[in-house]
Each structure stands twice: as C-alpha cells, then as structure tokens.
Chain A
C-alpha cells in the first residue's frame, strides 16, 4: 500500500515514526496511544504496512508508523510527498542492539528528509534503555550522538538540529519524550506556556500540566523545569480519576443529579481535588478536546479552601482562554484552506 495515500488533510501535523525492524516502534505506538500494558507488547507482530494513529489535542496530530523493513527510496513510494507533509521525524534506535546500521540508516533518511523539507524536526529516541545500567545509558547516548554527528558531517549536513531522548516503555520516559516532540508541533505553544505561567503565579500552584487524557502526553506546561516525579504523580492522578469515574459513570454522568433541569451539555466536566498528608494538593480539571489541566499546589500555611476557590476561578478563566485559542486556530485553518483553494482555482 502506498503510504502517501493516507495523507489527505494537510492541516494535520504529522509525526513519522521510523526505525529498523524490531526496534520497538509498534510497541511505542501501542503503549502511548492505546494504553497497552508494556509487557503485552512482547506479543506484537511485526508491522507490515504503514499504520496511522490519529490523535487530537489542541491540534490534530497523526502519528504514522512505517515498517522497518521497507525501503523508502524505491520509486514506488512517494517519499517526497510523505516527508514534505511531515512535522517531525521520530527515529527509534534500539540501544540494546548493534546500532551502527541504525545510525547509517538514520543519516540517510535525514539527508533525504532535510532536502525535501528543511523545516522538519528530527528526533531520535534511544530506546529500550530499561535494560541498561545507569552508566551505560549515558555512554550509549554519547556514543550515538557522536556517531550520528560524524555521519551527518560526512554528508555535509552539520547544521541539522537533531534531538536525542533516552526512552523506555516501562517507565514514563517515553511519554516525556513524546510530550516534547508534540509540543514542538503546536504553533500556539508559547501562548499556552504564558497562560500557564500566569495561572500558576496567581493561584499558588507549583506546577501545572496540560495533559492529553488518553495518552497522558502533556501538551504544555509552565516554564518551570519538569521534575519527572511530579510528572509521574500527575499522570497517575489522571489515571486514578478516569478509573474511578469509569466505575461510577452511570451515577456521575448527565441527567442523574440534575433534577432541576440545569443540565450541563453532553458530559459533565471531570474535576478531582485531592489533599495529601503533607499539604500538597493535586488538582485536575477537564478542559476542552480531551485535555485536562493537572496542577500541584502547596498552600503551606494559607487557607486551603480559599486557595481552591481562587484556583477554581482562575482555571475557569484559563479554560475560556483555551476555548478562544482553539476557536481562533480553527478560523486560521479554514482561512488557510480557503487561500489554498483559491490558488488552486486560479
């Protein structure tokens, strides 16, 4: 099947997932986008044709997985069109295997992709690092980075920006890597970050994430550095919320508790507040389009109740802001399309 046949909608940011065979591409897809248990990925079959995952957060994303054994440079593949429409190229390297071949392959793909589309983001996942010791991880990363650099230099591509991530499906590192990759593709990211910064400054929040509920990728966060532990706790908080809600969704859903007719449209917004023994408050609110805001706050000596009220109010405003951005980006897209159509018609 022709991979380029999938590409119809150019407004979608496309992420291309590539790598040699058996390096873990399908496992990544299943774990991140389908909530598969990491151990179950052992039984996945080898992928034989390109597969596409749709994933809509603030923007629509598509992740296309290309089977490792295919040669993209055969004339039958419309590789040029494929790479042109792609926002990010994610290349997976199996760190537990001989990776020399992978690096050569990677350099070749970068060479091609960069010529066709100089705006492409090139991201390399040094994958399966769960099996490596702490020292070895760093060594492997340095080695792979260096060798990739040399290969690219040989091809005369020393100006290309390549980002490297150490990942494993057995912990949160793969989500973290995908979060960063996706964030680069969202044009509104700087506004989002500003909004979140504003929010946390005025609501005594320590750290706030904007999560995609289904995949637990964070679309945006405030500008404070991300502590992986905080991320994990927040991601697990999303899980807890969804699981509990699922059990009682017939009770908590619409229509049950609204006898007086003030029924909120379609579904009730998820909200979860949890206080921990040491005063930390975890806060979750559902936003638009499958997003949820998860915040961690430490009110210290302040009154918890008033903190929450202020946070509630501010997050209402934040949500309105998100809606505005979303409405605007839709208009932008349709305008772009209109312009494109016009130019075609001429």
Chain B
C-alpha cells in the first residue's frame, strides 16, 4: 500500500477498543517486553498514549494507544477527530470477547470507521477478538466466525471491504501471530526479503529460515510461507503437508518468538543481548542485520559451524 504519508516511513497505528479490552496489555507485551503476568500492573490509559517504535531501522511506528473509556471516546469522535483520524495507516480495533455490551462495542467500531473513511480512507483495518482464552475451546471457532461475519458486514457498509481479523490472547502465541501480520503489512519491500531468503535457504541447504525483528521478535518473513498478508490456520496446515510427511508444529513461528524473547530477557540478567545460538549444530540463531535476527534450521548437521557463521555474515548485506 502506498499513499503520501508512507513515503517518510512514519506509520501511524491507531489502537482502539473499549475500556478494559486489553489494548495496553498487548502493546506492553509486544513492544515493551512485558510478560503476560506483568500486565496486571497496568492501569487504565488516560486519553491517548503515544509510543514511537523504531522497527526495521528506517521505519517508525507511531502507536496511538487510545484510552477506551466512554468520556475519551466521545472526545475522539468530536473535538479531536481530525487530530486522531488523520494520516492513519492502520486501525487496530480490539474487541473483548467476554464483553457484556457487544452492540456498544460495535457502535464504537462503526463510528471509528466513519471517521476513518473521511480522514484516511486508505487505511487498513485489523480487528482483534481478544481474550480468546476465556472462551471454551470448542466454541472459539464458532464465536470467531459469528463475530467476523458481523464485523465484515459492518465494515463493508463504511467502505472497508477487506478487514482482517484475528482471535488473540495474551496467554498464548496468537498475539504474536496477529501483530506479525499487522506489522508485515506495512513493510514495503517484503517480496525482496522473501526472494533473498529463499536464495539464502538453498545456498545453506537449510530446511527453513525465519526472519524476526530484533527487539519485538515479530516474524517478518520465512522461507516456507509468506507471513505477511495471508491469514488463518488453513494456510499453515496445507503448508505442513507440502513439506512432506514430517509434521512440524504450525504455530512454531509464534512459539519461537516467545521462546527467544524469554531467552533475550534472561540474557539481560547477564547485562547483555544475545549474539548467536547454535543448537545441535543444526539450528542457528544469529543477527543478520542491525534490526533482524535469522533463525535457520539446517537439513544437515554436519556442515562446519564456521562455514555457516561466515555465510550468515556474508548474507548480511542482502538484508539491510
């Protein structure tokens, strides 16, 4: 997507949703290294909290975490509407699945869409059905379908036919998956990364390579699967079949994000970040540029370590 404001690489992301739906919690987990427990400490967000995050070096994410209490909401739609809704690239609307006032939630969503249509009609809409862990396991899919149908229909009326939805929870990997895809949709030269990655994979005789952003450990892209843009578990499942009979966890990207983030956290106890990790001579985790980390799984553990590390070093220039 390109419009005028994306050329200066500042992306404005609006984080909306009613009070207590979990906006600040997810922001803290993804961007401030909070653990899911730590979010209990968070209080209500007053008005709008801005955070500026450098992502992939040259891109800045301006995240507007909009406090969801009704008083503030009213303000956003009246006095502050041009301030809030101008130059928005992405609207992330968070719904609490356990909410008692679904109609009111949807009404707020509708009002945001209306303003967006007026001030930034090219923005992308993501809806997160949050706190999914509170719903019974067998009812989650059904609930997700019902809500998404309703929301898609609503969004269509306001001229946003392509909204993307995720079922999320801070207690599992779903949050990483959703945010990875949201952020990926903002990266302009994704296809270059993708094709370079596949070349690199063939060169190393690797089974797969995954690129992560360094600070947030959000997935940028992988050699087996486009993470940006596509959606849903179906893709992952068919992917598993393609890769042959060996079954590999379809949620592995998000799990790796989680594991590596924990590891990074524990490294801070030694007052340092991590540089490389080599597991069984066949999984290599290493920085590949100043803001990306690559996760390489080799087909063959007999390749000399020095060669692989040298190759990673050489590949750095292709992933700037």
Q: Which segment of A64-72, A161-169, A177-185, A268-276 sits at the interface?
A: A268-276
Assess A275 versus B246: contact at CB under 8 Å? Given A236-B266, A257-B299: no
Chain B residue nearest to A235 (CB atoms) is B266
Residues of B with Cβ closer than 8 Å to A? 37, 207, 246-249, 252, 255-256, 259-260, 262-263, 266-267, 269-283, 297, 299-302, 306
**Interfacial chain A residues near B248, Cβ < 8 Å:** 247-248, 250-251
What are the residues of chain B within 8 A of A233 when measuring CB–CB?
Answer: 266-267, 269-270
Tell me the minimal C-beta distance from B38 to chain A in angstroms: 13
Known: A39-B37, A236-B262, A247-B249. A271 touches B274 (CB 8 A): no
A147 vs B276: C-alpha distance in the bound complex, in angstroms?
52
Chain B residues whose CB sits within 8 angstroms of the CB of A230 once the complex forms: 270
Bound complex: CA of A305 vs CA of B308, how far in Å? 14
Whether B273 contacts A277 by the Cβ 8 Å rule is yes
Whether, in the assembled complex, A278 has its beta carbon less than 8 Å from a beta carbon of chain B, the answer is: yes
Instruction: List the A side residues contacting B283 at CB < 8 Å.
Output: 244, 248, 252
Beyond known contacts A244-B283, A278-B272: 10 more, CB 8 A cutoff: A232-B269, A233-B269, A233-B270, A240-B262, A240-B277, A248-B283, A257-B300, A257-B302, A272-B278, A272-B280
Bound together, the chains give a CA A236 to CA B260 distance in angstroms of 11
Given the contacts A229-B269, A232-B269, A276 and B259 also touching, CB distance less than 8 Å: no
Neighbour of A245 across the interface among B260, B267, B272, B280, CB < 8 A? B280
B247-A277 in contact (CB<8A): no
Pull 19 A–B residue pairs with CB atoms less than 8 Å apart, ordered by A.
A229-B270, A233-B269, A233-B270, A236-B262, A240-B262, A244-B283, A247-B252, A248-B252, A251-B207, A251-B248, A252-B280, A252-B283, A257-B299, A257-B301, A271-B280, A272-B279, A274-B274, A275-B274, A278-B272
Instruction: Check A272–B277 contact: CB distance below 8 A.
Output: yes
Known: A244-B256, A275-B274, A275-B275. A270 touches B262 (CB 8 A): no
Write out the residue numbers on chain A whose beta carbons fall within 8 Å of the beta carbon of B259.
240, 243-244
A77 within 8 A of B: no
Q: Which A residues have a C-beta under 8 Å from some C-beta of B?
A: 39, 229-230, 232-233, 236-237, 239-241, 243-245, 247-248, 250-252, 256-257, 268, 270-278, 280, 305
User: Whole-angstrom distance from the CB of B254 to the nearest CB of chain A?
Assistant: 11
How many Cβ-Cβ contacts under 8 Å join chain A to chain B?
97
Report yes or no: A277 in contact with B275, Cβ–Cβ below 8 A.
yes
Q: Which of A236, A241, A280, A305 contacts B279 (CB 8 A)?
A: A241
- Bound-state Cα–Cα, A271 to B37, Å: 31
A280 to B256, CA, bound (A): 22
Q: Is the CB of A232 within 8 A of B255?
A: no
Contact yes or no, B279 A245, CB < 8 A: yes
A239 with B278: in contact, given A244-B283, A247-B256 (CB under 8 Å)?
no
**Which chain A positions have C-beta within 8 A of B267?**
233, 276
Which applies to chain B's interface (DSSP): helix, strand, loop or mixed? mixed
Do the beta carbons of A251 and B272 come within 8 Å of each other? no
Output the least CB separation between B36 and chain A (Å). 10
For the complex, give the distance between the alpha carbons of A232 and B265 in Å.
11
Chain A residues with CB under 8 A of B269: 229, 232-233
- Set of chain B residues within 8 Å of A272, measured between Cβ atoms: 277-280
Which residue, A39, A244, A271, A278, has most C-beta atoms of chain B within 10 A? A244
Which chain A residue shows the least CB distance to B282?
A: A252
Q: Is the CB of B280 within 8 A of A270?
A: yes
The answer to whether A276 touches B274, judged by C-beta atoms less than 8 angstroms apart, is: yes
Q: Looking at the complex, which one of A248, A276, A305 makes contact with B306 (CB distance below 8 Å)?
A: A305
Q: Kindly state the separation between the CA atoms of A247 and B260 in the bound complex, as whole angstroms.
A: 13
Which residues from A are CB-within-8-Å of B207? 251
Residues of chain A within 8 A (CB-CB) of B256 are 244, 247
9 closest residue pairs by CB, A with B: A278-B272, A236-B266, A274-B277, A276-B272, A277-B272, A240-B263, A277-B273, A275-B275, A243-B259
Q: Complex: how many Å from CA A244 to CA B280? A: 11
Q: CB-CB < 8 A to A277: which residues of B? A: 272-275
How far is B278's CA from A285's CA once the two chains are assembled, in angstroms? Answer: 12
Quote the shortest CB–CB distance from B298 to chain A (angstroms).
Answer: 8
User: Which single residue of chain B is at the shortest CB-CB distance from A278?
Assistant: B272
Residues in chain A near residue B262, CB distance under 8 A: 236, 239-240
Inside 8 A of A245's CB, which chain B residues have their CB?
Answer: 279-280
